[in-house]
């Protein structure tokens, strides 16, 4: 194909798999990272075709000029990067302000910087990676109705629940939607749920650690709630479909499997019986399921859950995360 595309947050879990897929399809990729020479980005240079078709740009989402330089001359953009707090907040009174400064403002401003640079570069389409967290946290949604793309998380409810990451994704996605409407930029948003699967990067990410903790921590009791999971490789495929399919528009929920927490752990236990699983479960209540039907109509499908679990655990074992 030979199109030039930019991927923000290139060294991360989802972005690394997306770049691997893009390179395999003949794209020329520009990845933005904070430090191109950092060891944590070394895995990107080892990808097939990376030596000829991948360039890493030093960029900060909050520095418009650096983002503009990476995106200028691109046909398309995948905005995958999302800020996470750098560490624990010492002063509880300052916590809300700190999360706002460290998480919400950068998520929104970073997204708008990427979209402004995309507009200036006249890209064909910008794909924004949102989150299932921007969909699910809506207490007013009817309990018997499957959550689709019309369901948005309630920002006030997220504040009340102190779900700052979810709030940052909801704010950023709604700003991205409005930016597309007001400027005419073709912006498509994809909302993955909890992303599992083998890692290409060497630093463990938070969603991978979710699975590691279930096997290692030896929890006495856990809440039996609906888990909404998707394989990282399937997320990469969804992002590419959202970019390549002319009919793609709006937002897409990207969920592969929905399974109760206890059933998930029972499945893991049948595959890997020797880990330290929770001893008991409490009732987590009922929750509406989510639908990936809109994404499936684009031609998306997901691999079996068992494949994701086995590939994840085998990778964690090899990486020493389960010792």
Query: Any idea which residues carry the catalytic annotation?
Result: 169
Structure tokens at 275: 């880990």
Task: Give the separation between CA 184 and CA 178, rounded to whole angstroms.
Answer: 10
Apex 204 CA angle, 292 and 226, nearest 5: 35
The counts of H helices and E strands in the chain are 14, 12
Q: Strand, helix or coil at 283?
A: strand
Apex 197 CA angle, 194 and 198, nearest 5: 145
Q: Strand, helix or coil at 94?
A: helix
Torsion sign over Cα 207, 212, 217, 218: positive
278 phi/psi in degrees, rounded to 5: -55, 150
For residue 297, what is the enclosing H or E element? Answer: none
Greatest alpha-carbon span in the chain: 56
Torsion sign over Cα 258, 161, 112, 203: negative
Task: Give the separation between CA 161 and CA 163, rounded to whole angstroms.
Answer: 5
Task: Give the separation between CA 90 and CA 73, rounded to whole angstroms.
Answer: 43
Closest by CA to 58, choosing from 48, 46, 50, 66, is 66
Closest by CA to 195, choosing from 182, 186, 204, 184, is 204
């Amino acid at each position: 194909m030979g199109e030039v595309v930019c991927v923000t947050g290139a060294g991360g879990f989802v972005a690394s798999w997306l770049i691997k897929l893009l390179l395999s399809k003949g794209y020329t990729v520009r990845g933005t990272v904070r430090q191109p020479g950092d060891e944590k980005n070394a895995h990107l240079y080892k990808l097939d075709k990376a030596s000829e078709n991948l360039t890493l740009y030093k960029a900060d989402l909050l520095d418009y000029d650096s983002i503009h330089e990476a995106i200028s001359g691109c046909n398309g953009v995948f905005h995958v990067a999302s800020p996470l707090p750098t560490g624990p907040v010492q002063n509880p009174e300052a916590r809300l302000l700190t999360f706002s400064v460290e998480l919400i403002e950068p998520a929104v401003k970073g997204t708008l910087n990427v979209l402004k640079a995309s507009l200036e570069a006249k890209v064909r389409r910008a794909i924004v990676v949102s989150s299932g967290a921007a969909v699910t946290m809506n207490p007013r949604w009817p309990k018997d109705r499957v959550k689709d793309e019309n369901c948005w998380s309630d920002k006030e409810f997220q504040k009340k629940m102190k779900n700052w990451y979810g709030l940052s994704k909801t704010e950023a996605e709604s700003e991205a939607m409005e930016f597309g409407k007001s400027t005419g930029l073709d912006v498509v948003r994809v909302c993955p749920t909890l992303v599992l699967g083998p890692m290409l990067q060497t630093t463990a990410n938070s969603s991978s650690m979710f699975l590691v903790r279930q096997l290692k921590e030896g929890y006495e009791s856990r809440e039996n709630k609906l888990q909404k999971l998707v394989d990282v490789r399937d997320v990469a495929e969804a992002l590419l479909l959202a970019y390549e399919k002319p009919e793609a528009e709006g937002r897409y929920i990207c969920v592969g499997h929905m399974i109760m927490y206890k059933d998930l752990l029972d499945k893991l236990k049948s595959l890997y019986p020797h880990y330290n699983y929770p001893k008991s479960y409490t009732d987590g209540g009922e929750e509406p399921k989510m639908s990936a039907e809109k994404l499936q109509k684009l031609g998306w499908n997901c691999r079996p859950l068992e494949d994701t679990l086995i590939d994840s655990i085998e990778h964690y074992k090899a990486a020493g995360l389960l010792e």
